[in-house]
Amino acid sequence: MALGATVTVVGNSFRFTQETITIPGPDGDLVGVLTLPDDGHARGIVVMVHGDGPVDATMDGLYAPWFEGAADAGLGTLSWSKPGVGGSHGDWLSQSMDDRAAEVSAVLDWALGDDEVPTDTVVLWGASQAGWVLPEVTRSRSDIDGVVAVGPAISWLRQGRFNLLAELEHDGADAQERAGAIEESDRTRALLARHASYEEYLASTTSDDPMTEDRWGFVQRNVGSDATDDLRASASREIPVLLMVGSHDRNVDVEETEDTYRSILGSSLTVTHLDGTHSLARPVMEDHDAVGLLTAVVRPRALLAPGTIDDYTAFLIGIGR
């Protein structure tokens, strides 16, 4: 496989090379990228598992600092566009978390069988929704050497309620607005619990921005997700795990996540607390869209909270040595 040129974003030259690859997935080909250190040699690979939404292989270029952090630790990175995104076959909204785990496992099998992909060390990296995928993959395989979990939740339902209340508080909602939002959420939860049709949901909701039918189906398939059992099943392997959480996370109750991870994983766990949001971006980047956009173009490394990539690289350096 011929490697491409060093990635450059408006004068920002990153320390890795990148090439486009095609990976056979469970439901058709997946289009992805393979990055390597500038010298083309890597002692292993980080496999990226996206969070929610229609994410492409590079997250529109925002993964570049993570790619560089892995390269600085002597590792390549393998990332692919979700099904139905960026040329990948399939539809990510048709997937369950089990389907997502099977997809990751299929990619790992492909990588391990390709001599040009460096797999002496294999690390899983996952953000947010990937928290329900990483433990399932780890418990079912014996070839994972480390895991990096960025802002994962434990329970889908508890995460949803935490996010709702956190956003209401952030927006300064009054008591009436808060009560109305909770009532709407409870009504939707009841419909999901009895597997109501999309038509019933539409007739019930008062939201100005209701879920699409495909999104409704996706939520129905996954609303019962809880990472606890898979975390327990994977703990016996004593794989090093880095949990990275932001102190301004309004999506996930990071205290619950940390408590659960600590109680199950024990000494295998390293926790990094960062002055960032759910994505570990600096808070100003999410609170002010113009600032975030300008920074992404001019100084992309500055998008993330201080220390994020340094901590990531330091953890990776210790894996597989």
**DSSP per-residue string spanning 250-310:** SSS-HHHHHHHHHHHHGGGEEEEEES--TTSB-HHHHH-HHHHHHHHHH-GGGGBPTTHHH
Provide the pLDDT for residue 286: 79
Tens digits of residue pLDDT in 3-14:
333 333 444 589
Tens digits of residue pLDDT in 43-89:
999 999 999 999 999 999 999 999 999 999 999 999 999 999 999 99
Residue 83 near residue 77 (C-beta atoms within 8 A): no
More confident residue, 300 or 65: 65
Tens digits of residue pLDDT in 129-141:
999 999 999 999 9
- pLDDT value at 117 more than 70: yes
Percent of the chain clearing pLDDT 70 (strictly above): 95
- Say what the pTM is: 0.93
User: What does the pLDDT average to over 175-195?
Assistant: 97
- pLDDT value at 313 more than 90: yes
Provide the pLDDT for residue 321: 64
Read off the pLDDT band of 284 (50, 70, 90). confident
Token pair for 204: 């019930």
The dihedral over CA atoms of 86, 88, 91, 95, expressed in degrees to the nearest 10, equals -110
Strands 28-36 and 75-80, bridge-based pairing: antiparallel
Provide the pLDDT for residue 302: 82
Provide the pLDDT for residue 8: 37
Strands 6-9 and 12-25, bridge-based pairing: antiparallel
Tens digits of residue pLDDT in 239-252:
999 999 999 999 99
Q: Where in the chain are the domains? A: 6-155+228-317, 159-222
Among 256, 295, 304, 317, which residue's Cα sits nearest to residue 66? 304
- What is the CATH architecture of 6-155+228-317? 3-Layer(aba) Sandwich (3.40)
Percent of the chain clearing pLDDT 90 (strictly above): 88
Give the C-alpha separation, 66 to 312, whole Å: 8
Token pair for 111: 């990588």
